[in-house]
Amino acid sequence: MRIALPALITLFALAACSAPETPELSTKPPLVLTPDLEGTQIKGLAMPRQGLLTAGQPTEAQFEQLGKLGVKRVICLRPDTEPGTGWEEVKAKQLGITFVRLPIAGADGLTPDNARRLGQELAAAGDATAMVCCGSSNRVGALLALHAFFVEQKSAAEALAFGKAAGLKALEPQVKERLK
């Protein structure tokens, strides 16, 4: 019996260590950006998980840099009526980047349905690198937190942490309310 108990403990330990980690459920700190990505100097640029960049609004020159660095899909949460946006569709087409506009005007757009739509757009990127952007990355982090909670079934604490890693700041109180 003494031999069986240590063997059982070892078996459980091996099973726990060998279980695949789901990237969506990782609570590790955000990944470190490469020097090339940092060199773009896009406001609020972060990589909260492999293959996913989050950021504020890139300029046209920064958009070109993203294309050269392998970004294949950009999901913009800014309505095309916001100042400084509306040009991305044409630029993306020129660069061969898939561009999707999912307009989230503010806290009212932070819904489970919009979180699901964002998840569908991210899934459409497959293994390619995607970027989700808005004015400052605040809406990005907010909507990704809701996606983590409602779609990926993360706990409220995990979802909030992921949202913060993706840029959530000023919308945090509204997100906390929706995570209840």
The domains of the chain, with CATH numbers, are 29-178 (3.90.190.10)
Q: What is the pLDDT of residues 125-141, one digit of tens each?
A: 999 999 999 999 999 99
pLDDT tier for residue 28 given thresholds of 50, 70 and 90: low
Q: Is the pLDDT of residue 16 over 70?
A: no
Which pTM value belongs to this model? 0.83
Task: List, in sequence order, every residue forming a beta bridge with 98; answer none if it has no partner.
Answer: 73
Q: Is the pLDDT of residue 24 over 70?
A: no
Q: Quickly list DSSP for 110-170.
A: --HHHHHHHHHHHHHTTTSEEEEE-SSSHHHHHHHHHHHHHTS---HHHHHHHHHHTT--T
Q: CA 117, CA 36: separation in Å to the nearest integer?
A: 30
Residue 33: predicted pLDDT: 85
The answer to whether residues 47 and 37 touch, using CB atoms and an 8 Å cutoff, is yes
